[in-house]
């Protein structure tokens, strides 16, 4: 039987061996490394400035709970004010529990907490939307409905909270999957949207930041477990419908064989973005300078005419009346 590994930085027993590099780490040095990587991501990509008011989207899952914990630890170094935002989509036997964990985290750090539901903002819970949509063959699918409404909800609540930047818990695995999905769909120019540095595209849009974009999901889970951070472990009941499910499974298998895969995909996307900015007519400028209209229904921005949110609401009302 082989002897237990010891941390490569001290003589303490290792709690984790990082797949890339095979470096064993004890609890103390794992935590230090974990937080240091997030801080480096923030500083390297100018995710936010000192003395800014930062919103953290907290669902109650592992990513958002870990993110809030790390940002709170870094708060003094970064001189930032944290605000917590939670969106309750209205998913029975799921979201009630996750909101509980979000509340516990916000209370633990004594942070301002804004909780809004789809029902409050749009007049329908996600469960009600799926029930109405089931009356017809036409369907965006639960995740598509949720994505459209959730993006709007987070922006509206962040704007009302008066924050400078909204941080989300998207991790390295999420980001790598998104890059590959765009390639598979023939939408490679969407990589231009992957610029990690937040920028104010419109006065009504709150810039987004992803401090975990270089942090693997595996390490986020471990950080929560090792530090006794309570979070919701049950998956959303609609997750089985997600189109990225098969790709996620493939990339997890591939990454088990080649641990650097996720980081390599993100690094490649960053290099493509960097090269695009050096062209005579930068692709990222061409792609990002799309016409921005105002929705005649709600006054929020839209790529053309009626926005996607109002399209969804109109569609639901039509189906209710039919």
So what's the architecture of 31-283 in CATH?
3-Layer(aba) Sandwich (3.40)
Q: What whole-number distance in Å separates Cα of residue 266 and Cα of residue 275? A: 14
pLDDT digits over 199-258, tens only?
A: 877 888 999 999 999 999 999 999 999 999 999 999 888 887 777 888 999 999 999 999
Q: What whole-number distance in Å separates Cα of residue 241 and Cα of residue 290? A: 30
**Token pair listed for 245:** 């499910």
pLDDT digits over 52-105, tens only?
A: 999 999 999 999 999 999 999 998 888 789 999 999 999 999 999 999 999 999
More confident of the two residues 291 and 113: 113
Half-sphere exposure of 229 (CA within 13 A, CB side): 25
In the chain, where are the structural domains located?
A: 31-283, 290-322
Mean per-residue pLDDT over the chain, rounded: 90
pLDDT digits over 71-86, tens only?
A: 999 988 887 899 999 9
pLDDT of res. 281: 63
Pairing of strands 23-25, 165-167: unpaired
Q: What whole-number distance in Å separates Cα of residue 294 and Cα of residue 61? A: 34
**Token pair listed for 211:** 């401090």
Residue 198 pLDDT exceeds 70: yes
**Token pair listed for 286:** 């061409």
Buried b (16+ CB within 10 A) or exposed e, 93-104: ebbeebbebbbe
pLDDT of res. 291: 67
pLDDT digits over 15-46, tens only?
A: 999 998 889 999 999 999 999 999 999 999 99
Q: CA 36, 40, 198 angle in degrees (round to 5)?
A: 135
Listed in sequence order, the DSSP H helices in 47-141 are 62-78, 95-108, 118-122, 126-133
């Amino acid at each position: 039987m082989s002897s237990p590994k010891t941390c490569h930085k001290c003589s303490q027993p290792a709690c984790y061996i990082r797949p890339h590099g095979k470096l064993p780490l004890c609890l103390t040095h794992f935590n230090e490394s974990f937080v240091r990587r997030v801080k480096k991501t923030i500083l390297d990509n100018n995710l936010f400035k000192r003395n800014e008011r930062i919103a953290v989207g907290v669902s109650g899952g592992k990513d958002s709970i870990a993110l809030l914990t790390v940002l709170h630890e870094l708060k003094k170094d970064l001189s930032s004010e944290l605000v917590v935002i939670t969106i309750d989509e209205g998913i029975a036997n799921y979201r009630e529990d996750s909101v509980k964990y979000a509340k516990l985290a916000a209370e633990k750090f004594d942070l301002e907490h804004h909780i809004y539901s789809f029902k409050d903002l749009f007049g329908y819970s996600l469960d009600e939307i799926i029930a109405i949509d089931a009356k017809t063959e036409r369907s965006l699918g639960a995740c598509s409905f949720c994505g459209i409404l959730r993006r709007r909800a987070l922006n509206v609540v962040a704007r009302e909270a008066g924050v400078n930047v909204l941080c989300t818990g998207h991790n390295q695995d999420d980001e790598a999957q998104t890059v590959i999905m765009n390639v598979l769909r023939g939408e490679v120019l969407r990589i231009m949207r992957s610029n990690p540095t937040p920028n104010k595209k419109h006065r009504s849009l709150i810039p987004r930041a992803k401090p975990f974009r270089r942090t693997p999901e595996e390490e986020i889970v471990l950080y929560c477990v090792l530090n006794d951070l309570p979070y919701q472990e049950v998956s959303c009941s609609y997750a089985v419908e997600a189109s990225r499910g098969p790709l996620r499974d493939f990339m997890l298998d591939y990454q088990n064989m080649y641990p650097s895969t996720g980081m390599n995909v993100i690094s490649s996307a960053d290099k493509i973005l960097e090269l695009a900015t050096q062209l005579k007519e930068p692709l990222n400028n061409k792609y990002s300078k799309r016409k921005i209209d105002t929705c005649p229904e709600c006054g929020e921005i839209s790529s053309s005419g009626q926005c996607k949110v109002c399209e969804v609401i109109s569609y639901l009302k039509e189906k209710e009346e039919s």
